[in-house]
Amino acid sequence: MNIMKAKKFTRRQVIATTSAGFIGTMINLPFRSFGINSNRQLKKLAVNGGEKTHQGSWPKWPYWDQSAEPGILEMFRTGRWWRGDGEYVSEFEKKYAALMGAKRCLATASGTTALTTALGVLGVDAGDEVLVSPYTFIASYNAIFVHKALPVFVDSDPETFLMDPKKIEGKITDRTVAILPVHIYGLPVDMDSVNKVARGHNLKVVEDACQAWLAEYRGKRTGTLGDLGCFSFQNSKHLPAGEGGAILGNDDAVMDRCHSYHNCGRPYGGMKAEKGYPSRGYNYRMQQSQALILMSQMKRFENDNDIRLSNALYLDKKLKEIPGIVPYKLADGATRAVYHLYPFRYIKEMFNNVTKEKFLRALSAEGIPCSSGYGKQNKDGLFEEAFSSRGYKRLFSEARLKQWRDENILPGNDQLSDQAVTFSQSLLLGSKADMDDIVNAITKIYENRETLI
């Protein structure tokens, strides 16, 4: 195929392909050239036996900081492994709260236990309903299931990859007690809109910021914008410790209760107190070793995020020039994203209907690791498994569960799941030449799309 036959569309036109009706119109647009290498000779795709675009390796994750070793070894040798015997978890909490601009931080064993604690302390109980983003890691739903409450999905906006705030109100019932917006991939949700609906209906807001450390909305850090914000420090995360999590909050009484809840129900302040357990609670504590690793990782955390941001903005600029490649759009009010994954949508109609699976295979063969984002999890078996349990049958009427099934139609999320493609955060720590390889590989696939059918 001649390179001059490649089609050029504006970003607005490509975005318009989200509505299927526009696609037919676009197919008839005139052929023009595009991309950063538009004069280059066509090369055979690696998946078809050609040379791959990216020959080198990609940054590995996580990085180990050797300077942390003496402190960690000393802590292990003295046997002060749990937070009741040491200062490191509290020290980390102070540092993390200060960095994020929150009054208080509670460190937890994981992001899941942070979410479970936040929802429990804010009053989510058996038989309640919680509005949640469908396009997320499964733990966002599971934290609701732990409380024997009903996760109710607010459809995604395929352009932002996030909960569509315009669709929240329609999902509220007399049992709704909270909203759990997810800043997925580190893309900030439009929190003013979420908080406005929440205030109007007396609902609590727990931000799932498990992928959004240092992201900003109207200049404030995500995780500080609702009643409570939750984070994950699992190994793939920007601030990794194997496992780990945190809750941020500004209300002392609520944060005291979170502390108590995560510490077997002991009153706040009594780490080892054996007498008096005024509330139910669990053991969701962070270990000393996790806190030490986190504090060592914090040394590079902000700089890494700056590199990811710079590379993501570069990709935004280059990728939107390729027909059928639509980078995420920031939600209203979002001022900084942090790219736990770099997401874009692949519009197969612009690639001669080459399926996303074939596109991903071709891109991987070019030396660019990629994946397809979250599936249509709202249709996975876990909901029917929960609803058929004795507990859920007692808590929710047949009529309510039928209504849930009838309303479990999420066209925005279906479209997003069909079209999403992601690069992991560690790719964004590469050089500008690495980013050019990503752009060149996708351009090469576009130019050779007819050979993939």
Residue 108 makes contact with ligand PLP by CB under 6 A: no
In the complex, what is the shortest distance from the CB of residue 199 to ligand PLP, in angstroms, rounded to a whole number?
24
The residue range among 32-40, 135-143, 384-392, 411-419 that interacts with ligand PLP, by the rule CB under 6 A, is 135-143
Tell me which of 234, 289, 417, 419 binds ligand PLP, using CB under 6 A. 234
156 binds ligand PLP (CB under 6 A): no
Residue nearest to ligand PLP (CB): 111
Count of residues in contact with ligand PLP, rule CB under 6 A: 15
Q: Which of 35, 86, 111, 240 binds ligand PLP (CB under 6 A)?
A: 111
Query: Which contacts of 397-402 are long-range, i.e. CB under 8 A and separated by 24 or more positions?
Result: 400/150
Stretch that binds ligand PLP, among 51-59, 118-126, 204-212, 368-376 (CB under 6 A): 204-212
Pick out residues in 168-187 that bind ligand PLP (CB under 6 A).
Answer: 182, 184
Please select the residue that binds ligand PLP; options are 17, 18, 53, 112, rule is CB under 6 A.
112
Among 45, 139, 325, 338, interactor with ligand PLP by CB under 6 A:
139
Query: For residue 269, which amino acid is it?
Result: G
Whose Cβ is closer to ligand PLP: residue 108's or residue 415's?
Answer: 108
Closest CA to 152 of 125, 166, 170: 170
As a whole number of angstroms, the distance between CA 15 and CA 20 comes to 11
Q: Which residues pair with 150 in a beta bridge?
A: 129
**Whether the Cβ atoms of residue 228 and residue 240 lie closer than 8 Å to each other:** no
What tokens appear for 321 in the block? 């020039």
Q: Does 137 bind ligand PLP (CB under 6 A)?
A: yes
Q: How would you classify the pairing of strands 216-217 and 334-336? A: antiparallel
| Amino acid making up residue 79 | G
Residue with tokens 């929440």: 198
Q: Note whether 176 and 201 are within 8 A (CB).
A: yes
Smaller CB separation from ligand PLP, 111 or 226: 111
Query: Judged by CB under 6 A, does residue 343 bind ligand PLP?
Result: no
Least Å distance between CB 380 and ligand PLP?
A: 16
Among 136, 195, 296, 424, binds ligand PLP (CB under 6 A): 136
How distant, in Å, are the alpha carbons of 27, 187, 350, 358, 371 from that of 346? 16, 18, 9, 11, 12
Q: Between residues 339 and 446, which has the closer beta carbon with respect to ligand PLP?
A: 339
Q: Which one of residues 210, 246, 350, 363 is an interface residue with ligand PLP (CB under 6 A)?
A: 210
Please report whether residue 281 would count as binding ligand PLP according to CB under 6 A: no
The H-assigned helical ranges of 251-397 are: 252-262, 288-319, 356-365, 382-387, 390-395
Is residue 222 a contact residue for ligand PLP (CB under 6 A)? no
For the CB of residue 359, give the shortest distance to ligand PLP in the complex, in Å.
Answer: 24
Binding-site member from 117, 140, 413, 417 for ligand PLP (CB under 6 A): 140
Indicate left, alpha or beta for 189 from its phi (over 0: left) and psi (-120 to 50: alpha): beta
- Find, among 404, 392, 394, the residue nearest to 173 by Cα: 404
Task: Label the pairing between strands 204-208 and 220-221.
Answer: unpaired
Is 207 among the residues that bind ligand PLP (CB under 6 A)? no
| Minimum CB–partner distance for residue 245 and ligand PLP (Å) | 5
Tokens 């504006």, located at residue: 10
C-beta atoms surrounding 43 within 10 Å: 13
Bridge partners of 341? 424
Instruction: Give CA separation, 149 vs 82, 301, 406, 409, in Å.
Output: 32, 35, 18, 20
Query: Which of the residues 34 through 93 are near ligand PLP (CB under 6 A)?
Result: none
Q: Report phi then psi at 427, rounded to 5.
A: -60, -35
User: Minimum distance between the CB of residue 190 and ligand PLP, rounded to whole angstroms?
Assistant: 17
Provide the minimum distance between the beta carbon of 156 and ligand PLP in the complex, in angstroms, as a whole number: 13
| Residue 118 sits in the site that holds ligand PLP (CB under 6 A) | no
223 binds ligand PLP (CB under 6 A): no
Residue 112 or 117 having the CB closest to ligand PLP? 112
Q: Is 443 in the site for ligand PLP (CB under 6 A)?
A: no
Give me 238's structure tokens: 């920007």
The CB-of-34 to ligand PLP minimum distance in angstroms stands at 34
Helices (H), 164-251: 191-200
Piece of the chain touching ligand PLP by CB under 6 A; list 38-46, 109-117, 215-223, 262-270: 109-117
Two tokens, residue 30: 């005139």
Binding residues for ligand PLP, rule: CB under 6 A, are 110-112, 136-137, 139-140, 182, 184, 208, 210-211, 232, 234, 245
